[in-house]
Amino acid sequence: MTTTRRSSGPGSAGSAGLSTVAAAGSSGADGARLPGRSLLRIGPVSLLIRRRAVLVAAVLTVLLLLAVVLSLSLGTPYVAPADVLRALSGAGTPYDLVVFDLRLPRVVLAAVAGAAFGVAGTLIQSVARNPLASPDVIGITQGAGLAATVALTSGMAAVLVAPTALVGGLLAAVLLFALGARHGLAAQRFVLAGVAVAFGFRALTEVVMLTADPIDGLRAQIWLIGTLAGKGWTEAAWIAGTLLVLLPVLAWAGWALNSSALDDDTARGVGLRPVARRIGLAGTGVLVAAMVTAQVGAVDFVALVAPQVARRLVRAERPPLVCAALLGALLLVLADLAGRRLFAPTQLPAGVLTAAIGGPYLIFLLQRGRRRSS
Amino acid sequence: MLSTRDLVAGYDERTVLDGLDLDLPTDAFTVIVGPNACGKSTLLRTMARLLTPRRGTVLLDGTAIRELPTREVARRLGVLPQSPLVPEGVTVADLVGRGRQPYQRWWRQWSSEDGAAVDQAMALADVTDLADRPVDSLSGGQRQRVWIAMTLAQDTDALLLDEPTTFLDLAHQVEVLDLLHRLRSERGRTVVAVLHDLNQAARYADHLVAMRAGAVVAAGPPREILTADLVRDVFGLACVVVPCPVTGAPLVVPAYTGGNAPAPAVAGDHSSSTASVPDVRPSTGDAANPLAGSHPSKGL
């Protein structure tokens, strides 16, 4: 049994600002007796934080910063990490153009999009009660994909591709909710409805693809796999803006996820409204997924892997939202870097690499988990 | 405190309860009994607002329960569903802590009252030693105590439990029932449970509600209402009701049902110790007993 211990997460994105306040604000209140948790008090606000999650978030943040510097440094021309740091500090170096204009937008986009995929995956998996659920299992990716394919093969202006894809993703979401709502968006129904939506949209996409001009078809194919090439600030701003607007909802979601494992009767018994909660969680997840997929394409293997890996790192019973976001960011930054450099000058889309990096790691964790539990 | 008025409830096409009026006494241990599919679980779920009635009202302290915010209901009425899904990897303290949900918000996730209530609930249900263990690693009896602790952490005046002893061995059944009895006698909680075992119901209940086919057949103290006639009416089972040698509560012993069941050790001779027991063995021709067809030993 633990008494309240102040959490002191150095440098983690989610808690760095808060913990300093907590040190001043919490005055020996007893209360958080839940194993592995600490109570964080800021005035009237009290949050339960997993101590291990703070640690994992801190480590992931450091790794993410290292990956960003590495990504800014590697390439042609090579920029030494020290010069990258000098350039970032605004010292004015000959590498400013390469670092700021060529590489930084893409790295920031990778981090932001990866974080968004991590968040979307966590929310979708909790509603689906299934660690394998991701935006492409429930049809959001395919909805965005169909719209993007139509846009790319019909000669629509390039700036309109992402908004069109967003509309497609949201359309798939509406269909998903309409099909899945009948039994209160219960897990199995949610997944089945999603699979149906996914197949429908994929079939339509293939029809469009086959009837299109081969060159356009190839462009659509690359979009579907997901790539960050040629993208940057605009896409990053859209995704970051969405996450920012949803921040209060995400704060609620981080709390609501704690009870998502309860069955409906038990949840109602403790005064929750499970259906409303599922609609809220799924709606948020789907919105984030549609936005990020519309901007960068189907890099959604990150959404599948990041929550589960984060969950195992934190050793929690459900994916932790902040850690999943950080891990998603790290994963996509690394995948994009590998895609740029591994077979340079040939660039592989990040979507190919996320699967190549994330898959084996997930298998490794599953193996380790099995050995421990047996 | 808990009553129903003209309650009609069911699932999909099937109406289970049809116009049920019932008043449950405050500060008592009420046990609802009845044959399978008689609507006892439906009644409990409807009273706990887990199931929305098609018509009629459930009253909690005189107010229609569906007009109260669900969080407020959760602070006054705890409920343990029949077989709650055990969340994977959640620790005991964590799960018991979920019982504090009705007092929490995402910006107020824990208070010292929450800590005190969780501690007290775990102590009452005797699961304090298990606090750091994952619930899915526990035995059935321990799990059930953890679930009860979760509902206790809600700190409600009333507690509804749907078959809290099912799937437990006899010792664990008694353990759970003793706990419920303590809650009533020492803590003054109102406890309402659906039970399968008539003898346990008779032993522990202050107030017994016997149901059949969605209607209440009898309600009252077990010693007053639990008779062989009632058991025959409700379950279609011929039986002998004798005083329990331990508590004096009515004890239901199924009667000899003929060739399908093991023969009594002293068949046909009641002159010795069982002299006070009336012979209620049905004749071998079951035609005399219109309800014999539903006897559980038939058709085996």
pLDDT of residue A132 exceeding 50, the answer is yes
Spell out the long-range contacts of B219-223 with Cβ–Cβ below 8 A and sequence spacing 24 or more: B219/B22, B222/B249, B222/B250, B223/B249, B223/B250
d(CA A259, CA A255): 8
State whether residue A183 sits within 8 Å of chain B by CB: no
**Cis ω on the peptide bond leading into residue B69 (within 30° of 0)?**
no
Percent residues over pLDDT 90 in chain A: 47
- Beta partners for B80? B161
pLDDT digits (tens, 9 = 90+) for A157-187: 888 899 999 999 999 999 999 998 877 888 8
* Model confidence band, residue A2 (pLDDT cutoffs 50, 70, 90): very low
Low-confidence ranges of chain B (pLDDT < 70): 266-300
Question: How close does chain A come to B45, measured CA to CA in Å?
Answer: 9
- Residue B185 has phi, psi (to 5 degrees) of -75, -35
Checking phi first, is residue B167 left (phi over 0); if not, alpha (psi -120 to 50) or beta? left
Question: How close does chain B come to A81, measured CA to CA in Å?
Answer: 41
- Would you state the pLDDT for residue B53? 93
Interface predicted TM-score (ipTM)? 0.83
- In B9-130, which ranges are continuous DSSP H helix? 40-47, 70-76, 92-98, 112-124
* Cβ–Cβ < 8 Å for A25, A43: yes
Q: Do A251 and B119 touch (CB under 8 A)?
A: no
- Would you state the pLDDT for residue B12? 83
Q: Do A269 and B74 touch (CB under 8 A)?
A: yes
- Would you state the pLDDT for residue A116? 96
Question: Among partner residues B74, B102, B118, which is closest to A33 by beta-carbon distance?
Answer: B118
CA angle, corner B284, sides to B280 and B286, nearest 5? 85
- Would you state the pLDDT for residue B300? 36
* Model confidence band, residue A29 (pLDDT cutoffs 50, 70, 90): very low
pLDDT of residue A6 exceeding 50, the answer is no
d(CA B241, CA A344): 88
pLDDT digits (tens, 9 = 90+) for A98-113: 888 889 999 999 999 9
Question: Among partner residues A39, A258, A317, which is closest to B89 by beta-carbon distance?
Answer: A317
- Residue B159 has phi, psi (to 5 degrees) of -135, 125
| b (16+ CB within 10 A) / e for A192-224 | ebbebbbebbbebbeebbeebeeebbebbeebb
- Would you state the pLDDT for residue B76? 94
* Model confidence band, residue A298 (pLDDT cutoffs 50, 70, 90): confident
State whether residue A63 sits within 8 Å of chain B by CB: no
- Would you state the pLDDT for residue B292? 41
pLDDT of residue A325 exceeding 90, the answer is yes
Model-level pTM? 0.84
Residues in chain B whose beta carbon is closer than 8 A to a beta carbon of chain A? 45, 48-50, 70-75, 78-81, 84-85, 87-91, 93-94, 97-99, 101-102, 106-112, 114-115, 118-119, 131-132, 134, 150-151, 154
pLDDT digits (tens, 9 = 90+) for A137-148: 899 999 999 999
How does the average pLDDT of chain A come out, rounded? 84
CA angle, corner B82, sides to B79 and B86, nearest 5? 90
Chain A residues closer than 8 Å to B90 by CB = 261, 317
- Would you state the pLDDT for residue A369? 63
Chain A residues closer than 8 Å to B107 by CB = 44-47, 251
Greater model confidence, A132 or A104: A104
Nearest CA to A57 out of A364, A329, A363 is that of A329
